[in-house]
Amino acid sequence: MIQILVFLPLIAFLIAGIGNRMIGNVAAKSVTTGALFISCALSWVTFIGLINGAPAQDVLVAQWFTSGDLAVNWSLKVDILTGVMLVVITSVSALVHLYSWGYMAEDPDQPRFFAYLSLFTFAMLMLVTADNLVQMFFGWEGVGLASYLLIGFWYKKPSAWAAAIKAFVVNRVGDFGFMLGIFGLFMLFGTVDLDTILSAVPTAKGATFTFLGHSVDAITCLALLLFVGACGKSAQVPLHTWLPDAMEGPTPVSALIHAATMVTAGVFLVCRMSPLFDASVTASTVVTYVGALTAIFAATVATTQHDIKRVIAYSTCSQLGFMFFAAGTGAYGAAMFHLFTHAFFKALLFLCAGSVIHAMHHEQDMRYYGGLRKVIPWTFAAMVIGTIAITGVNYTSGYFSKDAVLFAAWERGTEASRVAFSVGIFASLLTSFYSWRLIFKTFFGKPRWSQSEHIQHAVHDAHGHDDHHDHVHADHGHDDHHHADQADGTAGYHPHESPWPMMVPLALLSFGALFAGAIFNDMFVGHHGFWNGSLVHDGEFYAALHHVPGLVHWSPTLAMLTGLTIAFLVYIRNPQAADAFKKQFRHLHAFLSNKWYFDEIYNWLFVKPALWLGNIFWKRGDQGLIDRFGPDGLSGLVGSGSGIAHRFQSGLVYSYALVMLAGVALFATWFMVR
């Protein structure tokens, strides 16, 4: 069954990808979507079976390669940790496939799009079912490829392919660490097999090895190398810069890859390797601080962004930070729990954003939204559900998982975890603020659509090409150049609610966003042995979370309410307040809206020097030094006159043959007379 579950998306990818225009849109879409729904059903069956005590299994598919004592297999490992990921991946993927029927309906390249989505799903499934590090790396880079293809799906847009390359290359920086980590683990344990490595971790405690000329603690060093990989894939500071740019991809892609599944692979990796991380205090501390830093960094940046997708992207980045500091404080179950609930509400938020963008004719700038709650009420409702879940309103899924993360950080009681807790509370406040800011700017107030170029185009096209159609709205028949002056700010544009293939996923994800937390709380962060040894889990520790001090207990809720209140005051009650704040704290605002200047610094630190060095090595090194004193210099020696040099050169082949023959003759003579 697990083989069908994993390989069905691959087969669907091949059919849709190779068949492409030959089989047509509908066939390609049906095959991929159908395959995904089957995989999804099988995943839930597997998952429920595992919850009810079905044994973990490890199915060998084929040998991949062997060399000396290194043996790597293709095989599919299914334990409860994998089961959780299977459910998340296939559910969101199936819904995103369905959603894309509506969202991509007018795209000329639909088979390619659906093929890529299925390819992504396959790679992600290979990642989570890997029973060894190399296969995991296959899935790891495979999702990177799919992400590259999907970010650059609209390849004619320079910004899209630039973002695609950036995503791939920045991820490669992470993969560089991951690879070194694999090499080291192989050397330390003599295998790349996960179970063997993880069960042998205790025997390796205290081992040291020489890495880059220094004697270092093996476990700490290798855990940190793996964590570099996790940082790349999960967009943690300082390797986060690709994620906001990745929003160039179509919105369903953002929901599937850059919110619910691929970016959580780093968290999955840390949880999968939890015995390793748990064995190193230093590594765990680093994970905690990096997670906390990302949580707060991304949350601050999100408060200043105008692009609706970028707000959600930074929000994702921030939430991933929560998961990492949970893992860093040893609460791997809580990290996975937050990963699980986050997949639902973040996919929901992205798909809602997609629905808004769809309604607003590809306008993504919230400054040109406003007042949308009346025209797209269902999207509005779903997005509010997503927002109350992410901000952690009581009894929604975000409430359970975020509280578990924060309380665990408190309860662990180390310096790093207490810092993470405080930072987490503040980040929660910001989360609430920017999430509600998004809702208020998009759905409340007066329409500000008329300044949007996209809307102007839409209205213009409607007038230019649809004159023969019935104008349902008789009042916008006048000259479209004046529509910007229309008093209601709508420019005469009338957004429509999205079609049912887009609304059904919203409804299902809304259900998950509301109730997944309550349903699964006792399993993920309970003391019932749900994890069954698939990650480091201390039931007693989680039981203690119910008895944190009152202030700690209420602080997430307080933070949430504070954020909501500020957002309400700033964006509903007193709309001038934001501008006043901007003026007052000009530098802070510039710092935040420029994303702490990471891109600029990297450009100055890496990109420019790389190109500069490349030119130096080429012009000065290869041409100026090696060639000048090498072959070109020799030619000068051989013939000072150009005529001689030319004659010499044109006779090259013959002279070479001659030299060779002379060599052979010399050889023969030597041998005979010796």
Question: Of 200-259, which residues contact another protein (CB under 8 A)?
Answer: 200, 203-204, 207-213, 215, 218
DSSP code for 131: S
653: contact with another protein by CB under 8 A: yes
186: contact with another protein by CB under 8 A: yes
597: contact with another protein by CB under 8 A: no
Shortest distance (Å) from residue 651 CB to another protein: 10
Binding to another protein in span 96-155, by CB under 8 A: 134, 137-138, 140-142, 145, 148, 152, 155
Q: Report the amino acid identity of residue 487.
A: A
11: contact with another protein by CB under 8 A: no
The DSSP annotation for 148-187 comes to: HHHHTSSTTSHHHHHHHHHHHHHHHHHHHHHHHHHHHHHH
Shortest distance (Å) from residue 242 CB to another protein: 12
Binding to another protein in span 431-490, by CB under 8 A: none
Sign of CA dihedral 67, 71, 76, 79: negative
Shortest distance (Å) from residue 576 CB to another protein: 42
Cα separation, 553 vs 532, whole angstroms: 28
Reference 428, options 592, 546, 549, 557; nearest CA is 557
Shortest distance (Å) from residue 151 CB to another protein: 11
604: contact with another protein by CB under 8 A: no
Q: Which is nearer to another protein, 119 or 388 (by Cβ)?
A: 119
Q: Which is nearer to another protein, 209 or 591 (by Cβ)?
A: 209
> Binder to another protein among 47, 101, 116, 168 (CB under 8 A)?
168
Burial of 154-190, coded b for 16+ CB within 10 Å and e otherwise, reads beeeeebbebbebbbebbebbbebbbbbbebbbebbe
Shortest distance (Å) from residue 320 CB to another protein: 22
572: contact with another protein by CB under 8 A: no
Shortest distance (Å) from residue 279 CB to another protein: 13
| Residue in the structure block whose two tokens are 């064995």 | 279
Work out the angle at residue 506's Cα, subtended by the Cα atoms of residues 499 and 493, and round it to the nearest 5 degrees. 45
Sign of CA dihedral 432, 435, 436, 437: positive
Work out the angle at residue 163's Cα, subtended by the Cα atoms of residues 160 and 164, and round it to the nearest 5 degrees. 85
Cα separation, 9 vs 123, whole angstroms: 9
| Residue in the structure block whose two tokens are 């680093």 | 286
Shortest distance (Å) from residue 21 CB to another protein: 9
- Mark 504-543 with x for binding to another protein (rule: CB under 8 A) and - for no binding: ----------------------------------------
7: contact with another protein by CB under 8 A: no
Residue 470 region by backbone torsions, left for phi larger than 0, else alpha for psi between -120 and 50, else beta: beta
663: contact with another protein by CB under 8 A: yes
Token code pair at residue 499: 């079609």
Question: Can you say how many angstroms the Cα of residue 436 is from the centroid of all Cα atoms in its chain?
Answer: 23
Reference 378, options 403, 401, 359; nearest CA is 359
How far CA 392 is from CA of 194, 406, 517, 556, 661, in Å, comes to: 35, 12, 10, 8, 84
Shortest distance (Å) from residue 56 CB to another protein: 22
Shortest distance (Å) from residue 349 CB to another protein: 29
Shortest distance (Å) from residue 35 CB to another protein: 19
The DSSP annotation for 209-261 comes to: EEETTEEEEHHHHHHHHHHHHHHHHTT-TTS-THHHHGGGS-HHHHHIIIIIS
Question: Can you say how many angstroms the Cα of residue 519 is from the centroid of all Cα atoms in its chain?
Answer: 26
Binding to another protein in span 606-635, by CB under 8 A: 610-611, 613-615, 617-618, 621-623, 626-627, 630-631, 634-635
Q: Which is nearer to another protein, 601 or 668 (by Cβ)?
A: 668
671: contact with another protein by CB under 8 A: yes
603: contact with another protein by CB under 8 A: no
Q: Which is nearer to another protein, 511 or 648 (by Cβ)?
A: 648
Q: Which is nearer to another protein, 204 or 578 (by Cβ)?
A: 204
584: contact with another protein by CB under 8 A: no
Segment near another protein (CB under 8 A), from 49-57, 360-368, 555-563, 658-666? 658-666
Cα separation, 227 vs 231, whole angstroms: 6
Query: How many chain residues interact with another protein (CB under 8 A)?
Result: 86
Reference 553, options 668, 366, 399; nearest CA is 399
> Binder to another protein among 585, 597, 604, 667 (CB under 8 A)?
667
85: contact with another protein by CB under 8 A: no
Q: Which is nearer to another protein, 69 or 470 (by Cβ)?
A: 69
Q: Report the amino acid identity of residue 323.
A: M
Cα separation, 456 vs 483, whole angstroms: 8
> Binder to another protein among 83, 102, 184, 563 (CB under 8 A)?
184
658: contact with another protein by CB under 8 A: no
Shortest distance (Å) from residue 621 CB to another protein: 7
649: contact with another protein by CB under 8 A: yes
